[in-house]
Amino acid sequence: MKTKICELLGIEYPVIQGGMAWVANASLVIGVSKAGGLGTLAAANAPADYVRDEIRKIRAATDKPFAVNIMLMSPYVEDIAKLVVEEKVPIVTTGAGLPTKYMKEWVAAGIKVIPVVPSCSIAKLVARAGAAAVIAEGGESGGHIGDLSTMALVPQVCDAVSIPVIAAGGIADGRGMAASLMLGASGIQMGTRFLVAKECTIHQTYKNKILAAKDIDTITTGKRLGHPVRALKTPFTRAFLKNENDTNKTIEELEEFGAGALRKAVIEGDETAGCFMAGQSCGLVKKEQTAEEIIKDVVTEADTILRGAAQWVK
Ligand code: TUI
């Protein structure tokens, strides 16, 4: 299955792995990129030295294209913005903010910039600034999310810009991929499905919780902080919501309560204090597989569905 995203990025399948904070390290990126998708290293809140080491591990393992995701709320964002130029990273995706102030330099350095956008106006803004494509991410996603659903957002973004659109949010199998292409997207990004990849090094407790999760098992916290986050319903998210609804609690107290919770989930598998970020597609994620098996399964299923689609118009 080839789309214009494959040509643009030099990949075999139009499947991008989400740049999940604390999760998307060199191991996962190598697995996905070697399998013909686009592995994405998460710079998240990490310092530049860590990100540089991970980039070098990826390069030592494969010549395939990969991306670095820059989380624009990171305290190290300026350092990471320079690092991707120094390291000649081929593709940069961005999240959790507007990347426009960095884009001139990145584009001049030959980097293909693919921002995550939660709306048409932001899609148009980054397209004007030289984005190679956009990732239209609906609120079904895990982690930091926008307001719109994938079903509503993707076709509107496709109408708003002339660069390729990658759909994200709620996609975890070939049905989601086929539907995304029908909405006008040229590819998909998945996060939650890759959490259970064999190459994903998160704590086994995190993987088990994803495998056990049902459709209604995620919830959004952090709306009062201005950055809503979707994660599994756990003691942490329940306690966070209680604090959020308590008007006596200040924004600072809430930030303090949430600090380090993702690390506790990913590294320690802490079921009480950990924040297990996950998308609404968690109920579709049923087994651990290699990144290659995940990509092949999703693409083969989408291919079968798309080939059979003529039945609906007879
Ligand atoms: O960035 C993500 N997902 C993330 S980042 C993250 S780390 C984090 N942890 C705790 C709290 C906050 C962040 C975990 N998951 N997805 C991409 C994404 N970008 N979703 C929404 C946006 C976005 C939002 C607003 C992109 C641009 C934008 O611009 C408007 C503005 O006001 O900045």
28-57 residue pLDDT tens: 999 999 999 999 999 999 999 999 999 999
Cβ of 198: how many Cβ atoms within 10 Å? 16
Mean pLDDT, the chain, integer? 97
The residue count of the chain comes to: 314
Q: pLDDT tens digits for 54-103?
A: 999 999 999 999 999 999 999 999 999 999 999 999 999 999 999 999 99
Q: pLDDT tens digits for 136-150?
A: 999 999 999 999 999
* Domains parsed from the chain with CATH numbers: 4-201+286-302 (3.20.20.70), 204-280 (no CATH)
Residue 221: band (very low, low, confident or very high) from pLDDT cuts 50, 70, 90:
very high
Between the CA of 304 and the centroid of ligand 1 the distance, in Å, is 34
pTM for the predicted model, two decimal places? 0.97
Residue 252 corresponds to which amino acid?
Answer: E
- Strand intervals (E) in the chain: 15-17, 39-42, 66-71, 91-95, 112-117, 134-137, 143-144, 165-168, 187-190, 218-221, 229-232
Q: Is 71 in the pocket of ligand 1 (CB under 6 A)?
A: yes
Between the CA of 141 and the centroid of ligand 1 the distance, in Å, is 11
Between the CA of 306 and the centroid of ligand 1 the distance, in Å, is 32
Residue 249: band (very low, low, confident or very high) from pLDDT cuts 50, 70, 90:
very high
Which residue, among 291, 95, 4, 302, has the nearest Cα to 180 in the 3D structure?
302
CA distance 168 to 186: 11
- With tokens 């191991």, the residue in question is 27
Q: Is 97 in the pocket of ligand 1 (CB under 6 A)?
A: yes
**How far lies 3's CA from each of 14, 62, 166, 185, 187, in Å?**
7, 23, 11, 9, 7
Percent over 90 (pLDDT), the chain: 96
Do the Cβ atoms of 147 and 139 come closer than 8 Å? yes
Q: Is 230 in the pocket of ligand 1 (CB under 6 A)?
A: no
Provide the pLDDT for residue 1. 87
Residue 314: band (very low, low, confident or very high) from pLDDT cuts 50, 70, 90:
confident
